Amino acid sequence: MEKLIELLNKEMEEKEKAWPKLARFTSYDGINKVFNLNNGCSFCVEFVLSKRYRFIKRLVKNNKIDLSKLWKKSYMWFWDKYTREASLLMILSISNTPIKDLISMLK
């Protein structure tokens, strides 16, 4: 989990203009399914893992995903038809435990 929080904070650093420097991800509350920030705000899992937030896109682009693990979770036709980012988003969207699955695929 710490590695995922660290990657989310790196993402925020790159978006510094949009986010106050004091706002950093600190924890994940699995019960309420939210990521907490140290400024009292929180983001729901669905938003953080969405295509709109672009966190998954950046993970794939920066080679932070173990593609062999992604390959095991997907069907072969995913790779012929969809990008790695789209494949990962689809797998996470149908998962009952998307955060656990994402953590398991991180390098």
- Residue ranges of the domains in the chain? 2-105
Q: What is the pLDDT along the chain (107 residues), one digit of tens a residue?
A: 999 999 999 888 877 666 666 788 999 999 999 999 998 899 999 999 999 999 999 999 999 998 888 777 666 556 678 888 888 898 898 889 999 999 999 98
**What is the reported pLDDT for 18?**
61
CB 104 within 8 A of CB 69: yes
Hey, is 79 helix, strand or coil? helix
Q: Can you state the percent helix, strand and coil of the chain, rounding each to 5?
A: 50, 15, 35
